[in-house]
Structure 1
Amino acid sequence: MDHDRTAAPLSADEADARARQLISEAYAPRYEVPTSYRDETKPSAYVPTPPVAQPGRPPMSQRATNASVLMLSGSVAALSVGGATSLVLYTLGQVDPVTLAVGGAAPVALVLAAGSLLKAAGRAKAAAAPAEVHNHFTGPVRQETTNVSSQTRGLVARTTNRFDG
């Protein structure tokens, strides 16, 4: 309750009552409900947590990791070949154009030949007959075989799973 400045001044008893009211309001608790809670139960020894990315290379499949390592080592090889070629050209001062073409095409031809050799080896491995399986049983047996083949294609990956069995 606000008082006008033009109102009559308070008596000593009224001023004392008003001061007591203001002091009790100032020291009164602001909230009737608790503002915090402490859980006293013991945490369990094992809590499942989601995986967290670790520092270093980001998590990826084994195939992607192999491709990444292959690209990094290929870039180191290309750097050394380019540096050696630059050093030879610098020391010679001038080079016959035919010699330059042969020197520049040789590493490319080597990489293409190695790539086709690896493809041929991969095709030969894929064409090899699968290992024979011989099972010997005594007594009543129920045997089930399930073959699952997965194929992923496209820039935006689309996976097709086929179950045989």
Structure 2
Amino acid sequence: MTHLPEPPAAPAAGQARIDDQAAKLLAAVEEAMRTPTSYRDDSPLPDYGPTPPVQQPGAPAMSQQATDVGRAAMFCGLATVPPGLIAIGILVASEHADPTVIGMICAAPAALAVPILAIARLLRSAKPEPEVHQHFHGNVTQTTTHSRTSGVWAKNINQK
């Protein structure tokens, strides 16, 4: 059996006894546990009529599409951090941190994105129209209408 040494009879000068510190900690925990930190109203709700909304904990409910878009925006924003840090390091190392250089670095992604988007739009519109073969028997009236809608608000007027 292991024998433990006896605790010192008196604490060293300027130090409180461990028992006193433990007692103060327990008293503080007891005081914190006495006061309620939340309240839940369990009174019954009416059987009919309007029920008032209750604030729910956590993030508000969103559709899956909104969640995906938010997550993609967050990751795209996060992807801009390393190039920005590299640009800052280059500017600091070269001691050429003037407004013209900063403007060129900031405009470079947009200058690269615009031609890429234009080429993508051209490739999308370069699809050949499908060849349509229609076989009719009897009296037929055929009308072909081509319409192109672009922009946020559109008004289509199909007239003969």
Please state which band the TM-score falls in when normalised by the shorter chain.
0.3 to 0.5
Q: Say which structure is richer in strand.
A: 1
Q: Which is greater in Rg?
A: 1
Q: Please report the TM-score for the alignment, with normalisation by the length of structure 1.
A: 0.38
